[in-house]
Amino acid sequence: MGRALALITTIFKKDLVSELRAKESVVTMVTFSVLILVLFSMAFEPSRETVREILPGLIWMSLIFSGILGLNRTYARERFNDCLIGILSSPIAPYHIYIGKAASSLVQLFIVEIITFPLYFVFYDLEIDGSLGILLLTMLLGSVGFILVGTFLAALTSNLRSNDALLPVILFPLLVPVLLASIEATSAIFAGLTLNQYLPWLKLILVYDLVFLVVPLLLFDYLMEVD
Amino acid sequence: MKHTSSLKRVLLASTFVSMLVSLYLVFVWVPVERQMGPVQKIFYFHVPSAWVAFLAFFVVFAASLMYLKTKLALYDIIAGSSAQVGVVFTTIVLITGPIWGKASWGTWWTWDPRLTTTLILWFIYLAYLIIRNSAKGHEKNLRLAAVFGIIGFIDVPIVFMAVRWWRTIHPVVFEANNIGLPTSMLTTLMVCLLTFTLLYFVLLLKSMKIEQAERKLQNLISEALKAY
């Protein structure tokens, strides 16, 4: 267990360090999600009441759109010089690669969230009636689900041609449950509903996260097979 | 070889007969529903199509699992062919559903759990077919399609759960009609279900045959190119 954790951390650190040095994805992701936020506020010219209704959906959609940009790069880095074969021939199991990469993508998405989220208060005059802690928990759980499935499918599309366009097409249908649950929970928290009114959504996100934490354990090897 | 082709002929013949019987039952024998009128007859095509779609996607799931386990090309061909048939029938469900909905609910579309799940299902297996098509017969890429065929199926119940909660938290606009079916309608539905199931196997076998022929052709071409 400790050894697995060490291997996962190795991949995680490697990915995060090389990303933060090159700043390939993160800068693009942050800029893109801020752009979406600004463009939407121009497109819909939101009055105070309507904004509240669409804001949770907008926040999550912009996260997912900018997240896709990062996910598409997850395995691109390994294509040069056959890096992936190098990693696979080291004693690191494919599942460890998967978790390590997912963790690194998750941190990148958090960076986007931390920078973008305060801007919603500025541009949309956002007010939160519910607890901020539970909102952050919802953001965390939802992001985990999104990144887990996204990292898995990015490994799948990285093997195919036209992979950049393909990832959203195959990823979005699978994201429906976690997206729906996250948006519903977020809007409940914004509106200040009581916890047991949206607890089912948090549970659903948790189930989704667990399913896509375990399923890759059985299937990820097949995505990494080299022949 | 002789044996399988005669089996196929039996399947084809029984599908033909069963389809004639179904058409007779639907359009002549079964009484017209009092409230909805003739439009209710869509029911006899809509429900069996939905059943076949789910059956087809289950076959994709099972065949994908078998393909990853055994690496036998046959399982991959079954999965791919079944997904094609499944998408066609899901499309039929998504076309007939709104027509019926417009007549009985007065609206083309509602975000009802079953409708929404079917729509998402359609997107998932369309994605599966796109992956499989871009695999271009490479064994490794066919494995990718199989992996997607498995996780797509695992996702479906979660989608259904999510949409059901989504709709129950929101006000329910349309109650599910729990009216028990009269025997004549039930009989017709059952026969139609049988017909569509037989039709599924006919189409599956045809689609598999086409795929096998395509692969054979591809092999011949590459051999010929090598000889040249």
Q: Is A222 in the B-facing interface, judged by CB distances under 8 Å?
A: yes
Of B159, B56, B147, the residue nearest A172 (C-alpha): B159
Please list the rounded mean pLDDT of every run of 10 residues in chain A (227 residues).
Answer: 84 87 86 89 72 84 91 81 80 87 92 90 81 90 94 88 81 91 90 83 92 89 76
Q: Which of residues 176-205 of A touch B (CB under 8 A)?
A: 176-177, 180-181, 184, 200-201, 204
For the cut 60, the answer to whether the pLDDT of residue B206 exceeds it is: yes
- Cα separation, A28 vs A70, in Å, equals 8
Closest by Cβ to B147, choosing from A161, A223, A226 = A223
Binned at pLDDT 50, 70 and 90, residue B168 comes out as low
Q: Are B130 and A170 an interchain contact pair (Cβ–Cβ within 8 Å)? A: yes
pLDDT (0 to 100) of residue B180: 64
The arithmetic mean of pLDDT across residues B170-198, rounded, is 72
Q: Are B161 and A204 an interchain contact pair (Cβ–Cβ within 8 Å)? A: yes
Selected residue with higher pLDDT from A224 and B91: B91
pLDDT (0 to 100) of residue A10: 86
pLDDT (0 to 100) of residue B172: 44
Q: Is B174 in the A-facing interface, judged by CB distances under 8 Å?
A: no
Contacts for B25 with CB less than 8 Å, ≥ 6 apart = B44, B187, B188, B191, B192
Binned at pLDDT 50, 70 and 90, residue B62 comes out as very high
For the cut 90, the answer to whether the pLDDT of residue B79 exceeds it is: yes
Binned at pLDDT 50, 70 and 90, residue B3 comes out as low
Q: Is B134 in the A-facing interface, judged by CB distances under 8 Å?
A: yes
pLDDT (0 to 100) of residue B174: 44
Among A71-75, B70-74, B80-84, the range with the most confident prediction by mean pLDDT is B80-84
Domain ranges of chain A: 2-224
Q: Are A207 and B158 an interchain contact pair (Cβ–Cβ within 8 Å)? A: yes
Here the ipTM equals 0.85
* B23 touches B50 (CB < 8 A): no
pLDDT (0 to 100) of residue A66: 92
For the cut 80, the answer to whether the pLDDT of residue B120 exceeds it is: yes
Q: Which residue has the tokens 């690194």?
A: A104
pLDDT (0 to 100) of residue B137: 65
pLDDT (0 to 100) of residue A143: 94
State pLDDT tens for residues B123-162. 999 999 999 888 776 778 888 899 999 999 988 888 888 8
For the cut 60, the answer to whether the pLDDT of residue B1 exceeds it is: no
Q: Is A170 in the B-facing interface, judged by CB distances under 8 Å?
A: yes
Q: Cβ atoms within 10 A of the Cβ of A211, count?
A: 19
Residue B2 CB-half CA count within 13 A: 0
* B75 touches B66 (CB < 8 A): yes
For the cut 90, the answer to whether the pLDDT of residue B88 exceeds it is: yes
Q: Which structure tokens are listed for A10?
A: 């190795």
pLDDT (0 to 100) of residue B2: 55
pLDDT (0 to 100) of residue B82: 95
Binned at pLDDT 50, 70 and 90, residue B173 comes out as very low
pLDDT (0 to 100) of residue A141: 94
Helix (H, G, I), strand (E, B) or coil at A193: coil
The overall average pLDDT reported for chain B is 85
Return the sign of the alpha-carbon dihedral for residues B30, B182, B52, B124: positive
The arithmetic mean of pLDDT across residues B44-72, rounded, is 92
pLDDT (0 to 100) of residue B200: 94
Closest by Cβ to B144, choosing from A159, A181, A201 = A159
pLDDT (0 to 100) of residue B53: 92
Helix (H, G, I), strand (E, B) or coil at A61: helix
pTM score above 0.90: no
Contacts for B45 with CB less than 8 Å, ≥ 6 apart = B26, B92, B96, B192
The arithmetic mean of pLDDT across residues B82-101, rounded, is 91
pLDDT (0 to 100) of residue B7: 84
Helix (H, G, I), strand (E, B) or coil at A23: coil
- Cα separation, A48 vs B82, in Å, equals 50
